[in-house]
Structure 1
Amino acid sequence: MKTHIFKSSLKRSALVTAGLIMSTPVAFAATTWVGTADYTAAPTASGLDEDVVGPFDTYDFGLGVSLIKFTQSSATTGSITGWYQSAVVGHSLDFVTALSPNLNSTGIGSGYELTAISRFTGTYNISGSTNTFQITGGSVGLYFDTTPDYNFASDSGFEEAWAPILFGNIAGGEGSVKVSGANTGSGFEELSLNFSGAFGGYDHNVYSPDTIGGGDAIFTIKTKGVSLLSGVNSVLGESKVGGELFAADGNLQLTAVPVPAAAWLFGTGLVGFFGASLRKKIAA
């Protein structure tokens, strides 16, 4: 009987903790989102050759194209405006591939495609052969299309007429590119993305659980010697004239809506308090 009372009280204290977590407005660090994507419920889906993928936490992107235009403020500093487009080539969970057999990553043929686009702004600084940069803002979008048709050379099929299934803003980012020769150059870029708030969201029919908050992305960058760049004249409708083309691939790990730190600490303390009190009563 005493054991039953003890367990019931612990359940009540856990519910109190959950209530505090739901009501406390102070946010803390987000955790990785793990869930499923039901592409049969996406806009224009036929229901015949899409997948329900999951569990997964990361989108893997194939080699994409970025166009960057520079505005100098001094000999070594200035601002940047950029455009990027690519396509998803896979899903993964803890670096293990999550099956998506009908995902088309070529832009031609059957199945469905997932394309990603971004417009961004930032600043840069040149030191010798290394260009470091900060991304200060921008937007991102992930589109589903039941008819694979993206094409870098024609600059088409990436940003669809219908709403993206995942969209948001760039909270910040940084990276660097080092040019090491006439035909070689490489670097990296890290981005923090926000998919919540007034400028973010996702298709709730596609993603489950309903807790996506943002994402952390990392890309490798190649500046020269990439055949993909040779046939590209514009990116997202922006002409390459006056800018530079880069090739980049990487991944996006989704994060969940953060749980308030104060609530966790306070709630954990309450569980300990209730547990200790009950033990004293039972012992008495």
Structure 2
Amino acid sequence: MEEKTNEKQQILRQDLSEKEDRPGGIFLVHLLMEEACALPSREKMMETMTRHLGALDCVNYDDKSAACFSPREYLMESEDGKSFSPILFVSACEKIEKPILNELELTQLWDCPDGKEILASCPYQIIASDMMAAGLDYKQRAKMLVHYMQALAELFPTAMAFVFETSKKMLTTEEIASCEQDWERCFLRYAVNIRFFKIRGTDDCMVDSVGMSILFLPDVQYHYHGLKVEAVVKHAYDVLIYMFDQDCPFENGDSVAGLREGQYDDAVPWKVYYEEALIQPVRQVVDIDTGEYAAGEREE
């Protein structure tokens, strides 16, 4: 069994030496620009950020390097009992020095079909991130980040696309600005990438997600055959919504409604297990056992 498991991981994982993802790290996004641009004025940034995020303080502003803002609504408490807010950082426009996406990541731009062309046409970027935000309640952080992204889309309308560092998902700036879902769903739309892989030399497929770790939540993973990819992707998205809404209440061996002829059916329970991801990045996932459609072998 150990030999077979190792063989399966060698087939699926692209880089077994990669270090494990650190949950709750800095949220970072690349705004891709065709031409270099200046930061908007301090007043313009304050006005736009306030409209999207509520009252905030400008911690730093230098139009040649960076601007930093602290939204007052999003409070945490330090070990000595003092309250503080996270910092939202926006860099000045700079030349892209190294590729933002690797070969594997370039195959997963399902939400931005012109992604490769956009990357080729954009030699500049603005980097935006949050700092000291890991201590926020995960829903508060997601809400803050959604409004932050919408403010950035308004401040930098000439950005061609946003690339989210944790998930490597790419969306056009227009899609960021025009998302009409509530902020919970907008977070999943913006920051979580659902990927699809065909396993070479087999009939097996993989659908997984990347991006939930920023909120200290696991991703999902399906290793299967004989199901339509669209149905599995929708199932994955719905499981992610449930996990986000309920703070991932699953225990090993719990079940979710599976699929019968493409429709949810409680009479077809699919069990869930916490496992290590089969495809990089290294991270914890909720693995969905698709029953008769499951591929590979599970260690008991």
User: TM-score w.r.t. structure 1 length?
Assistant: 0.25
Larger Rg, first or second structure (1 or 2)? 1
User: TM-score w.r.t. structure 2 length?
Assistant: 0.24
Richer in helix (by share): 2
Richer in strand (by share): 1
